[in-house]
Structure 1
């Protein structure tokens, strides 16, 4: 056996969404911050993303995270998030996977019943609280960077759909949020392909028609995701607390459904709910995926980001390790950068 590169990869998923965690084989990456390292990886080492996520080693629904040393004295470690077509500043499901892998493999010490760690993402520092029992991370709650709204109730012309009324918000990635019923989709797995096709059209129209520029870091991309939102339903939890439940589907480029309820999408929607006066600080928002898995989220605080009113969201969910493996690249392999095919990798509209 001969390899020109090997990577140690721990496969994990958070409420159904894949989040590979690369724990060895990369070494350090130049850059003062994790965002700097993200930029370096994108510009100089993008083969790593393709090697991990493209076929024949990956698939369109796979994500990956590269664990790296952090220069921030508050952070135990850092990580850069890799997705099919981009390097997000933040991802809730991927963060849950990273925290679970770091604790369950012993890379960071686990303390039961609660382990608190700080990780550096490209978006900034993320405080993570892990509920632990018998060596297992039972549940992870992360406090995200601020989420805010760019556009509320904006008209959007979408080919084949006419004029939709949408919200545009940032929660670590930037989303066009559209009412699922208005778009003519059911938030069920049987409508997944239709949601992917429409979601790509809506995302493209939003990027063309609605101006978005991050007020602090202009290198953070604009609109890259579509979120189909279901109605809000008030409920009472067994402990007597009032919660708000909803269902959603996030369309990730190049055109597939996020298997989880989506952490940054949930954060963006919390910002919209707050702006519309539909949720109170500290109230639980239970967001459901089309797999019926859930994230519980709440607004921890209110802040300003540039000119925007913003919320500090926290999101909690569960994640599970599924395998530990060594990914290798044989120097004679004809696909060192992987490949994509149109039967599953939709053209990014």
Structure 2
């Protein structure tokens, strides 16, 4: 076997959503994190395809490029990317990165449990509680979320929620499919059809379906479809913040209430209201990451699939 390229990675899942963290990225000169972010799709095209595409990756995998910090207040800089684009912020990815840095010994634990990651959109503050060398809880606060439009008079009716992205949030009743893993095939069909309909008229980053029947008891269920049609493999940090902001705006939860969002896979993200600003409601979020493996990805120059492939 000949080796053309070699990369070390750490895989972490947060509430079921998988992240691949590149430990030793290629050496590239850059003046700012924003510059590197803008160059990422072209400069790291080979790495993105090699590490995220099948047969080494899969369609639901998100990449995290961890770098030394530029901002002196930060513990590390991080860029997030999917198979097709870069993402300014990914809260689940931030939880995955801080878990890998602390449990892997790349970052020394602090008594305060407070850390900061630098992103293109600014610093993300995290609280990472550790016990016997493991990160047992990661908490962070989302950016402001707000309802920007209510769309009725069509099927399905939905609300447009602005958070880190813009999501169409629908009630489960609009889907007429049970929030159960056994209905996954039906959800895929429904999601593709609904995304096609909504994205034809509104520019959205995804669709969130919310089951709020137990919201008064502090429990909700949700399922989130990315704009490429993939189902997010967790309740989703951004989606949970959007659900929290929606329920607050509709007076369906109190400002002192804790909310647990469950995915159809049974994974959980805990949320409670944070600061309310003119831009919308912030939401505090909590979950936990688990390291699932460390890998050395190799590209053999004779490999007939150097760019990989994706089956959706």
Tell me whether the two structures share a fold, i.e. TM-score over 0.5: yes
Match of 2:158 in 1: 166
Aligned mate of 2:180, from 169, 183, 188: 188
Query: How far is 1:103 from its partner?
Result: 0.6
Match of 1:239 in 2: none
* Distance of 1:87 and 1:115 partners within structure 2: 29
* Distance of 1:234 and 1:107 partners within structure 2: 40
Q: Is the 8 A contact 1:29 1:41 kept in 2?
A: no
Q: Is the 8 A contact 2:195 2:229 kept in 1?
A: no
Match of 1:312 in 2: 282
Query: How far is 1:324 from its partner?
Result: 0.9
Match of 1:198 in 2: 190
Structure 1 residues without counterparts, runs of 5 or longer: 158-162, 211-221, 236-242
Query: How far is 1:44 from its partner?
Result: 3.3
Give the aligned length: 312
Query: How far is 1:203 from its partner?
Result: 2.5
Note closer, same or farther for the CA distance 1:193–1:128 as it changes in structure 2 (3 Å cut). Answer: same
Query: How far is 1:97 from its partner?
Result: 0.9
Note closer, same or farther for the CA distance 1:278–1:234 as it changes in structure 2 (3 Å cut). Answer: closer
Q: Deviations over 1:19-43 (max 9, x none)?
A: 111111334563523x543321124
Equivalent runs, 1:213-252 vs 2, <5 Å: 222-234=203-215, 244-252=218-226
Match of 1:2 in 2: 2
Q: Deviations over 1:259-302 (max 9, x none)?
A: 21100111122222222222333421211111221111122101
- Is 1:179 the counterpart of 2:174? The answer is no
Moved more, 329-338 or 101-110: 329-338
When the two structures are superposed, what TM-score results if normalisation uses the length of structure 1? Answer: 0.82
Match of 1:292 in 2: 266
* Distance of 1:66 and 1:194 partners within structure 2: 35
- Is 1:104 the counterpart of 2:103? The answer is yes
Match of 1:217 in 2: none
Give the aligned CA root-mean-square deviation in angstroms. Answer: 2.1
Q: Deviations over 1:66-100 (max 9, x none)?
A: 11233222221121112244323322322211110
Secondary structure of 1:266's counterpart equals helix
Secondary structure of 2:146's counterpart equals strand
Equivalent runs, 1:254-293 vs 2, <5 Å: 254-293=228-267
* Distance of 1:143 and 1:223 partners within structure 2: 22
* Distance of 2:280 and 2:187 partners within structure 1: 29
Equivalent runs, 1:75-94 vs 2, <5 Å: 75-94=74-93
* Distance of 1:233 and 1:3 partners within structure 2: 54
Structure 2 residues without counterparts, runs of 5 or longer: none
Query: How far is 1:252 from its partner?
Result: 2.7
Query: How far is 1:177 from its partner?
Result: 1.0
Match of 2:292 in 1: 322
